Chains A and B, each alone.
Chain A
Amino acid sequence: MNTRHILALSATLLFGANAAHAHRVWVLPAMTVLSGTDQWVSFEAAISNDLFFPNHHAVALTQIEVRGPDGSPVELQNAIGGEIRSSFELHLQQQGTYLVSLRPGMGRRPAGGTGGPGAGGGAANQGSLFGSYEANGKTERWRGTPETLVSEGMAAKPGFKLRETGGRSVVTFVTLGKPSKDILKTTGKGLEVDYVTHPNDLFAGEPATFRFLLDGKPAANAEITIVRGDDRYRNEAGEVILHADAGGVAKIKWPQTGRYWLEATASVKGELHGVPSEKSFTYIATYEVLPD
């Protein structure tokens, strides 16, 4: 795994650089709704500029984790780790919904955290620290760990602002037969979605209701960005940005059929070694929206 790219991605998300040109991480199933008893489905996973065209960097196969409808691990089949994309297949033999996710924290520098949301969640608290301060009339950026935060005396820098990356989830779903909900259960850690509308039951013309939770509590005002795939063939990506309501609920109206990339961000205010900090969490998912 190329750590540098992941860190660059994190920084982009944190500092709100032009999202339209961000590197986007995704795991994309060839299809999300399957029927039958014994089926195969293929996937690609990459970090790219265009959705969903591998053109930048692969997601390492070791990051990819799959669990079946009953929660048991499902093995990747015919997996290939490429330079600009990884690919694999799944052999679906159990009816229901499967969860494909990237293992959290991998490729990140372990950095501890404030003990706020996400802490104690294993890899979920391996965030990195980002800061900014004023020096000679310019804004300087800083990146480090809880240790360097103290050893470099950052708290004393003028106008020092500290941001931490909390957990980042990257997920997608496929369903054989009737959609099931066991695998969708939220854990109460990090930024998650309580799927009021099942993620493999999305149709153009039917708004989907997703409830965003941060550490199990409504992620009020979480910012949600959706982008339809094939932006390579459009002059404008046409991303839709919306916010969850006070209950963390967002009703998403899909502009049309297609494959969508969703990114949600939410943050909490905390404190690290006496320095006020803002800790942000990211949830990324890939969906397929079918015709009515």
Chain B
Amino acid sequence: MNTNSTLRLATRLGPGLLCSAGASFAGQLTATVEIPQLDVAEYHRPYVAIWIEGPDRSVTTNVGVWYDVKMAKDEGITWLKDLRQWWRKSGRELDLPLDGVSGPTRPVGVHVVKIPEALTAKFADGEYNLVVEAAREVGGRELVRVPFTWSKTPAIDATVRGERELGAVTLRQSN
């Protein structure tokens, strides 16, 4: 079974099909973000931004931004512009570092990101995207959108795979 193409097909068919019916409690959303192992001569951990876009594609909630938070003279911020969409949609408006959002870069592997209920409590019903953007020094850039439907009884279980800079990105409810 080719998981990759199945998932891509699912994405193309739209968020409705990705949701399994039945859940009755909104619960907490949990995302996972996979940073893949890359066979490259010079590897730096990617900068990653994670956010939720509302139906109009504006940034509803910043979930995380992983960069070199500890570099002297805020030099880590120099490269945040390479997270191009996040930078223009949100980053440049923010006073960084942002509590609960800014964090250090992560190594290769699957990272679990819990999205506090406080962030989603205000959501109106509608179509949303979990967006993950990754940019790597002397490497590439990739943006993955995971569409989901938010309602009073959401049932979210979605996965979209990146092609290179990101592996699987998932979004689930953790009731």
A179: nearest residue on chain B (CB-CB)? B92
* Complex contacts, A291 vs chain B, CB 8 Å: 84, 141
* Distance in angstroms between the alpha carbons of A203 and B87 in the assembled complex: 13
In this assembly, does B91 line the interface, its C-beta being within 8 Å of a C-beta of chain A?
Answer: yes
Are B81 and A35 in touch, CB under 8 angstroms?
yes
Are B77 and A36 in touch, CB under 8 angstroms?
yes
* Complex contacts, A35 vs chain B, CB 8 Å: 77-81, 87, 91-92
* Complex contacts, A75 vs chain B, CB 8 Å: none
What does the 1/0 interface line of A255-292 toward B look like (CB < 8 Å)?
00000000000000000000000000000000000111
CB-CB contacts below 8 Å: B64-79 with A: 73-75, 77-79
Knowing A35-B81, A292-B85, the reply to whether A178 touches B75 (Cβ < 8 A) is no
* Distance in angstroms between the alpha carbons of A291 and B77 in the assembled complex: 20
In this assembly, does B99 line the interface, its C-beta being within 8 Å of a C-beta of chain A?
Answer: no
CB-CB contacts below 8 Å: A25-50 with B: 33-39
Closest approach, in angstroms, between the C-beta of B55 and any C-beta of chain A? 18
Main secondary structure of the interface of B (DSSP, over half): helix
A37: nearest residue on chain B (CB-CB)? B74
Closest approach, in angstroms, between the C-beta of B12 and any C-beta of chain A? 18
Are A36 and B74 in touch, CB under 8 angstroms?
yes
In this assembly, does A201 line the interface, its C-beta being within 8 Å of a C-beta of chain B?
Answer: yes
B contacts with A, residue count (CB < 8 A)? 17
* Complex contacts, B79 vs chain A, CB 8 Å: 35
In this assembly, does B88 line the interface, its C-beta being within 8 Å of a C-beta of chain A?
Answer: yes
B85: nearest residue on chain A (CB-CB)? A292
Are A178 and B92 in touch, CB under 8 angstroms?
yes
* Distance in angstroms between the alpha carbons of A291 and B81 in the assembled complex: 12
Most chain A beta carbons < 10 A, residue from B80, B87, B93, B143: B87
Are B85 and A33 in touch, CB under 8 angstroms?
no
* Distance in angstroms between the alpha carbons of A136 and B35 in the assembled complex: 77
A39, A178, A201, A203: the one contacting B93 at CB < 8 Å is A178
Closest approach, in angstroms, between the C-beta of B10 and any C-beta of chain A? 22
B92: nearest residue on chain A (CB-CB)? A178
- A residues bordering B, Cβ < 8 Å? 33-39, 177-179, 201, 203, 290-292
9 inter-chain pairs at a CB distance below 8 angstroms, sorted by A residue, are: A33-B81, A35-B77, A35-B78, A35-B79, A35-B87, A36-B77, A178-B93, A179-B92, A292-B85
- B residues bordering A, Cβ < 8 Å? 73-75, 77-81, 84-85, 87-88, 91-93, 141, 143
Question: Top 6 nearest A-B pairs by Cβ distance?
Answer: A35-B81, A36-B78, A178-B92, A35-B80, A36-B77, A33-B81
